[in-house]
Structures are given as C-alpha cells and as structure tokens.
Structure 1
C-alpha cells in the first residue's frame, strides 16, 4: 500500500488534467492548502519527533564513545537541527531549477518542444527524497499522495498548455509517480541509507517544512484573509490527526 498510494495519486492527477481539464484554479489552490497543512501536520507530529528520538539515541552512543577516549561530544539534537536546515536549503536549490513546480508554480507561456529536463530531474530528486522516510512511517504515504495529486494536475496542465508531445507528458508523469515508491524501496533495502536514517529523514523534514509552509502561505492571493483557505487548512490538520 505504501508503494501504491503515492503512485496512484500522480496517475489520478494526470487523468484529471487530461480528461476533465479543470479550469477553476481556486479549487486547486484550496486542495493545495489542504495538502500543505495535512503534510505539515504529519511531519511535525510523526516524522519530526521520531527523527529527534534517533538523535538522542545517537547522542547516548556518542557519550559511550567519549567514555572510551573519543574526547569530543556532539549534541544529537543540534546535529539533527543542522540536517533539517540542510533540507530547507537543498529544497530552495531544487526550486531554482524546478521553478517552484513542487508547490504548483508553473505557468506555460511558450510552446514546449521537449521535456524540460532541469524541471524533470529536480522534481524526481524531490519525490525520491520524500519517499525515504515512508519505509518507517507508512502514514506519510497518504500525506505525500495528497500533496502530489494537485501537483500532478497542475504539471500535466502545464505540459498540455505548452503543447508538449503527449507521449513525453505520459513518460514524465509515470517516472515522477515512480520516484516516491522508489525512495521508499531503496531506503529500506540499502544498508548505507538505513544506517543514516536519522540524517536523511532530517533532510526530508526540512524539505517538507519548506514545501508545506510555502503552499500554505502562497495558496492565498495578496495575503488577504480567506475563510475557504482557513477551512481547508483546518481540515488538513484534523485529517492528519486521525492518520
């Protein structure tokens, strides 16, 4: 299920864009606000405490090493916080190449004759990292799926409006859909990734912090009070509570 849900979400988003061709951007923005708050709530209530608990365990191991003559102590919480900041900065760098596609900021003004490779690679790296903590936190699969569904709709519409080749669009979306399950698979199978689970998960926390907070704050135009957006955010928090 943890492999299927994120994959199916992207495919559903692709089909919605191709078959229904939604024109009302307000509905997509509300769905984005819901997905942002849902994902952020799962991150702070499930993934973040787990990552810090690993940091505390590492600190205990460090103290044992110090007792045997290592002589230089590191605070586990400080280390985890550092990796979270790496994740935030890393996501900012990715968005430089993806133009903010992770939170729905893509606009086609010119014809796209081929796949925009920088956007493609950036999004795939983003989705791959998102899937890594899912091997330990299955509930995150739902958060990522809800996050990816409107992104898939917006991306597909972007490619269609850019008159990109239909086969290229399908190829892009299938690969993008496969990246999160692939991240989940390799994080549970590759020893190196398992050994550095806390550090990698902390990076993902930073990525999710940046993405979800950006979605929440930017899903409203002109920063005006919007009751519909507020309701969507509250519903996202409530839904995540029951996961």
Structure 2
C-alpha cells in the first residue's frame, strides 16, 4: 500500500493543475526546486554509496548509461520530467511517444523504492509537480478527456508496477545493483537539470536558495 503513494502524487498533481498555472506559479516553481534538491540529495546520500559498496564492476558505466537514457527520453518527452512542457497544446493526436518516455522513466524509478523510504518520499515529491504540468497540458489540449485521464492513470501506475516487479521477481544482487545504477543516472540528470533551470537566467533568488537548502537538509536528516 505504501508504494501506491506515487499514484497519489499524480492525483495531487492533477488537483494542483486545476487551481494553478504550473508554468507561471511562483509556489509551483518553489515546489519544483525543492523536489529537485531533495531527489538529488537522496541519490547522493543513499543510492550512490550503496551501489558502489555492492562491489560490482561497471557500476559507473551503468550510471552514465542511465544519464544518457534520460537524455534520450527527454528528447521524446520534451523535458516534462524537470518542469517543461513544449508539446503543442492544439494537437488532437494522442501523445504516444510522451507516454512511452514517461512510462519507462516511471517504471525504472520504481525499482529501488523497496529499499529506501527516503527515496520513496523523494520520488513522490518529484512526481507531484511533474504530474501537475502533465495534467495541465493534457486537459488544455484537444485530446479527449477520457484519453487524458487514461494517460495519467497509466503514468501513475508505472512506478508502483516497477516496485512490484522488483519485489516479486527474483533478481540477482548484481542485476539489482546495475538497475539501481541506471536509476541513479536518471535521477542525477533530472534533479540537476531542475536546479540549473530553477529560475530565469539560471540565477537563484534568496527564496529559491532557501528552498533548495531546505530540500538538501531534509534529505540529510531523514
């Protein structure tokens, strides 16, 4: 039941999209900055040491593979994972490539959640602004409302599915370490991109800096 929290995050994101314009809301941008800082900190404080302590060769190679995979996925998704939505809202075509990209990202991020409650919280916090941006795009587009809800439902279920697969299929310790390394690469790219793009002209104001520091400290002390 705990791992249905990512699905709840999508629901919360949808509710936020009903009341805020994610692309222009200051509060929303602060949430995005906090989520990036928290996710990056959990990755560095917990996931990186654990995957290197596993002792398997080529862990660094798989981290870089994850980073490159995320770059490719963002080529398909146009950057919604870190707070952007560049797809045309006037399109009536169902965005299959966007769904494929986000679903694969969400599936992979679900694999290590069985191992860390802090990582689960980081994924949930990260998923809320992403879902809000995605919902705002889908429901302002010319896509049928049923298809928009179906898109969000599939997206919301992929992370719990990844956790379920990891928990119910016997993966060797080596394969598990390599999958976690790929996820680390994905998280490193997404979270650092969020922080670099946290404000216009790549500059931080005092409020956003305080939010980022809060995210880092919370991840450290949890």
Matches within 5 A, 1:25-40: 25-40=25-40
- Shift in CA distance, 168/44, structure 1 to aligned 2, threshold 3 Å: same
Q: What is residue 204 of structure 2 aligned with on the other side? A: 225
Aligned to 1:73: none
Rg (Cα) greater in structure: 1
Partners of 1:45 and 1:14 in 2: how far apart?
30
Residue 194 of structure 1: CA displacement?
Answer: 5.5
> What does residue range 47-62 of structure 1 map to in structure 2 within 5 Å?
47-54=47-54, 56=55, 58=56
| Rounded Cα–Cα distance in structure 2 between residues aligned with 1:41 and 1:120 | 27
Question: C-alpha displacement at 1:101, in angstroms?
Answer: 1.1
How far residue 170 of structure 1 moved from its aligned partner, in angstroms, is 0.8
Q: 2:177 aligns with which of 187, 195, 198?
A: 198
Residue 234, structure 1, aligned to residue 198, structure 2? no
Q: Which 5+ residue runs of structure 1 have no aligned equivalent?
A: 59-75
Query: Are the aligned partners of 2:94 and 2:143 in contact in 1 as well (CA < 8 Å)?
Result: yes
Q: Distance in 2 between matches of 1:106 and 1:240?
A: 28
Q: In the alignment, is the contact (CA less than 8 A) between 2:9 and 2:127 conserved in 1? A: yes
Deviations along 1:32-61, whole A, 9 cap, x unmatched? 11000000010111111111111x2x4xxx
Equivalent residue runs for 1:109-148 within 5 Å = 109-148=88-127
SS of corresponding position for 1:171: helix
- The separation in 2 between residues aligned to 1:51 and 1:212, in whole angstroms, is 18
Report deviation, 1:193. 6.4
**TM score, norm. by length of structure 2:** 0.93
Bigger CA drift: 23-32 or 134-143? Answer: 23-32
Q: Which runs of 4+ in 1 moved over 4 A?
A: none
Tell me if the contact between 1:35 and 1:143 (Cα under 8 Å) persists in the aligned partners: yes
Q: Is the 8 A contact 1:37 1:212 kept in 2?
A: yes
What TM-score do you get using the length of structure 1 for normalisation? 0.86
Q: Do structure 1's residue 91 and structure 2's residue 81 form an aligned pair? A: no
User: Could you say which residue in structure 1 is the equivalent of 2:192?
Assistant: 213
* Helix, strand or coil at the partner of 2:47: helix
Question: Among 165, 186, 190, which residue is 1:186 paired with?
Answer: 165
Residue pair 1:132, 1:187 contacting (<8 A) in 2 also: yes
**Offset at residue 129 of structure 1 (A):** 0.5
Q: CA deviation at 1:114?
A: 3.1
2:4 corresponding residue in structure 1: 4
Once the two structures are superposed, the pairs formed by residues 147-162 of structure 1 within 5 Å of their partners are 147-162=126-141
SS in structure 2 of the partner of residue 105 of structure 1 = coil
How well do the aligned residues superpose, as a CA RMSD in angstroms?
Answer: 1.6
Contact 1:131 1:179 in 2 (8 A): yes
